[in-house]
Amino acid sequence: MSHELTWLLVAVPAVSAAILLLGGKATNAWGHLLGTLAPLISFAFGVVLFVQMMGKATEERSETVRLFEWFSVGSIKVDFTLLIDPLSILFVLLITGVGSLIHIYSIGYMAHDPRRRRFFGYLNLFIAAMLLLVLAADYLLVFVGWEGVGLASYLLIGFWQHKDSAAVAAKKAFVVNRVGDIGLSLAVMSMWALFGTSAFAGVNAGAEHVSSTWATLLGLMLLLAACGKSAQVPLQSWLLDAMEGPTPVSALIHAATMVTAGVYLVTRSHAIYEQTDAASTAVVIVGTVTALAGAIIGCAKDDIKKALAGSTMSQIGYMMLAAGLGPAGYVFAIFHLLTHGFFKANMFLGAGSVMHGVNDDVNMRHYGALRTPMKITFVTFAFGYLAILGIPPFAGFFSKDKIIEAAFADNTVIGLCALLGAGITAFYMTRVMLMTFFGKKRWADDVHPHESPAVMTWPLIILAALSLAGGALYFAGHWIVNWLEPVVGVEEHHPPVSAAVMTLITLAVVAVGIVISVLMYRRDIPREAPVKVSPATTFARRDLYGDALNEAVLMRPGQYLTRTLVWLDNRGVDGLVNGLAALFGGLSGRLRRFQTGFVRSYALSMVFGAAFVVVALLAVRLS
């Protein structure tokens, strides 16, 4: 197999999705098996490509595959070209690898759902779109994948459509994502105007010569896009609601892969961010703010999936922070993205396994002491827990430690924020752990917790192993640094104190977080959430008022505008007729002779329009 066949990676799940979605009931019996086979084939093929790439010399690892000319207009030419290089192959392995595990897990998780085949169809659609996103060699093609994953995510969040909350959450995710998409579409159009192309090669080559204003603008547009897709402040609100989707979806799309697309986009656009300090700083600030905001939200959620979602926001914030630091951080952003993909998918699937055992209850106040009936889930979840805390030798230790180091090397305030975030992470993850698996049992009498079937536990075990071993990518001779260097560049960073001291400080902060959490959640936890809580808790429970803010700033004015316009359109014009009847007496009277209901008002609106047109023309000339 050669890299010429890279398109198969995308085509296999796409074809499978088409078969499952168009095949109808005939495919019900074996649909889930086909759906699981597709990402496995892509994964196997991805491994072959990866091994071949390892065998090549460093400078030959980047290959483009031109499939066909998509369109060309004048000098702008957009090819359907795929780029397979050290960066994209890592994503391919993550998406298809973790994706395959989640497909397998879903066979068990969705076993009793009458629409299981459709679910697998959507999942395959997602895999295809996500692979297209990371393999595209042109920003416009990235945009295609970008919209594709948005569509798949929308369909999957709303999969349990009988729940109103799911339909609302799906719509919210779609709309917020579209806000981000504006950024990407404007960026592509600017690229066409500035560079005459939107291909990576052309943009990277042209970025050096572009003015710093334009570089900043481009950087900010791309950041807007990244914020939408990766649930970064201020476009974070959809991710918590997105937990309405089935848990495998939360694990695959809203933890491991799709939400990290923003980090990918920023890293891929490194040539642009190198030209602009302003935009890079904006990326760092957005990342830092989100890292803290997500962690704070995670502290107050009783819904296990929402607590994990807050954590996802926070961890992606770390990745953005690292990506904003430039060549000093890109490698660690991607490294953390990979390890996070392992341990967060692990924990989400673990949460799903817990829910599976307790009749789909998501409230952690109704759990407690689950470590005995669900041993495998408990142990694997604990691996994820240790990894996200950054306890050596788990994967998160290597990746997060490096990001905090790089942050300190760049700016002490940012470094302190990152460090604080690590402490809060330790606090809320310990809380999740204690409330779910320790303490007294709080589940109702008719609930009989039980371990999940093997088809669900094996993916958990594999992901737990990866959560432990993922760090090898770094400590095995800084492999990932050397691997990614030709694509994104690497720059040594020098933290103010030595790396070892840094590590000790971080571990100490994490330990403080754990201790506070243990002290607080050691005692009995009430089954109902206390109502009288500190303002800080309320603040966190309400997602830091993110929704309230959206509502006040965007939704309400939007509704008023809509209502006003509709009113104007339906009745206003008529009212205007009556009000201005005296002014336009003669004209209006003549028009009224038609006496055909509203036509007179339509006609009068045309008269106003005509007057406006002529006045506008004259005004231009006279001014």
Site for another protein in 147-166 (CB under 8 A): 147-148, 151, 154, 158, 161-162, 166
Minimum CB separation from another protein for residue 149, in Å? 11
Asked if 573 touches another protein (CB under 8 A), the answer is: yes
Q: Tokens standing for 314?
A: 């926070």
Closer residue to another protein, CB minimum distance, 123 or 395: 123
Distance CA 272, CA 226 (A): 14
Which single residue is written with the structure tokens 């796409």? Answer: 14
Answer for which of 11, 48, 447, 603 binds another protein (CB under 8 A) is 603
Minimum CB separation from another protein for residue 601, in Å? 8
Distance CA 101, CA 252 (A): 9
- Tell me the window of 86-94, 173-181, 335-343, 427-435 that interacts with another protein (CB under 8 A): 173-181
Taking the CA atoms of residue 388, residue 393, residue 399 and residue 403 in that order, the dihedral angle to the nearest 10 degrees is 90
- Specify the amino acid at residue 379: V
Closer residue to another protein, CB minimum distance, 154 or 443: 154
Which residues, 6+ apart, have CB-to-CB distance to 55 below 8 Å? none
DSSP for 533-570? Answer: --HHHHHHHTGGGHHHHHIIIIIHHHHHHHHHHHHIII
Closer residue to another protein, CB minimum distance, 25 or 523: 25
- Tell me the window of 168-176, 262-270, 364-372, 506-514 that interacts with another protein (CB under 8 A): 168-176
- Tell me the window of 27-35, 242-250, 380-388, 592-600 that interacts with another protein (CB under 8 A): 592-600
Asked if 193 touches another protein (CB under 8 A), the answer is: yes
Asked if 569 touches another protein (CB under 8 A), the answer is: yes
- The helix/strand/coil state of 303 is strand
Asked if 616 touches another protein (CB under 8 A), the answer is: yes
- Whether the Cβ atoms of residue 111 and residue 512 lie closer than 8 Å to each other: no
Closer residue to another protein, CB minimum distance, 382 or 580: 580
CA-based torsion, 344, 349, 351, 354: positive or negative:
negative
Distance CA 389, CA 400 (A): 9
Minimum CB separation from another protein for residue 19, in Å? 15
Minimum CB separation from another protein for residue 111, in Å? 22
Q: What is the DSSP letter of 497?
A: S
Answer for which of 413, 444, 454, 614 binds another protein (CB under 8 A) is 614
Which residues share a beta bridge with 64?
83
Closer residue to another protein, CB minimum distance, 169 or 466: 169
Closer residue to another protein, CB minimum distance, 458 or 584: 584
Distance CA 544, CA 538 (A): 8
Residues in contact with another protein, shown as a per-residue x/- string from 12 to 41 under the rule CB under 8 A: ------------x-----------------
Minimum CB separation from another protein for residue 293, in Å? 24
- Tell me the window of 257-265, 384-392, 433-441, 562-570 that interacts with another protein (CB under 8 A): 562-570
Asked if 621 touches another protein (CB under 8 A), the answer is: yes
Distance CA 361, CA 158 (A): 18
Distance CA 111, CA 454 (A): 13
> Total residues contacting another protein (rule CB under 8 A)?
65
Neighbours of 552 (CB within 10 A): 11
Which residues, 6+ apart, have CB-to-CB distance to 409 below 8 Å? 328, 415, 493, 494, 495, 496
Secondary structure of 95-118 in the HEC alphabet? HHHHHHHHHHHHHHHCCCCCCHHH
Minimum CB separation from another protein for residue 199, in Å? 15
Nearest to 289 by CA among 138, 418, 391, 475: 418
Closer residue to another protein, CB minimum distance, 127 or 308: 127
Q: What is the DSSP letter of 529?
A: P
H/E stretch holding 63: strand 63-73
Nearest to 295 by CA among 308, 312, 314: 314
Asked if 213 touches another protein (CB under 8 A), the answer is: no
Distance CA 127, CA 148 (A): 10
Closer residue to another protein, CB minimum distance, 359 or 562: 562
Nearest to 449 by CA among 381, 347, 365, 366: 366
Minimum CB separation from another protein for residue 201, in Å? 17
Distance CA 16, CA 19 (A): 5
**How many residues are given for the chain?**
623
Answer for which of 450, 478, 494, 563 binds another protein (CB under 8 A) is 563
Site for another protein in 54-113 (CB under 8 A): 68-76
Closer residue to another protein, CB minimum distance, 195 or 408: 195
- Tell me the window of 36-44, 55-63, 399-407, 558-566 that interacts with another protein (CB under 8 A): 558-566
- Taking each continuous run of H as one helix and of E as one strand, the counts in the chain are 28, 2
Asked if 469 touches another protein (CB under 8 A), the answer is: no
Closer residue to another protein, CB minimum distance, 128 or 304: 128
Minimum CB separation from another protein for residue 106, in Å? 21
Minimum CB separation from another protein for residue 546, in Å? 19
Answer for which of 56, 178, 450, 494 binds another protein (CB under 8 A) is 178
Site for another protein in 131-150 (CB under 8 A): 140, 143-144, 147-148
- The helix/strand/coil state of 291 is helix
Minimum CB separation from another protein for residue 253, in Å? 18
- Tell me the window of 190-198, 286-294, 334-342, 446-454 that interacts with another protein (CB under 8 A): 190-198
Minimum CB separation from another protein for residue 163, in Å? 9
Answer for which of 192, 264, 437, 474 binds another protein (CB under 8 A) is 192
Nearest to 387 by CA among 299, 477, 496, 463: 463
Neighbours of 272 (CB within 10 A): 26
Asked if 562 touches another protein (CB under 8 A), the answer is: yes
Asked if 171 touches another protein (CB under 8 A), the answer is: yes
- Tell me the window of 303-311, 475-483, 514-522, 603-611 that interacts with another protein (CB under 8 A): 603-611
Nearest to 329 by CA among 278, 275, 276, 274: 274
Distance CA 540, CA 531 (A): 14
Distance CA 434, CA 295 (A): 17
Answer for which of 28, 52, 185, 281 binds another protein (CB under 8 A) is 185
Interacting residues with another protein (CB under 8 A) = 24, 68-76, 140, 143-144, 147-148, 151, 154, 158, 161-162, 166-167, 170-171, 174-175, 178-179, 181-182, 185-186, 189-190, 192-193, 196, 561-563, 565-566, 569, 573, 594, 596-599, 601-603, 605-606, 608-610, 612-614, 616-618, 620-621
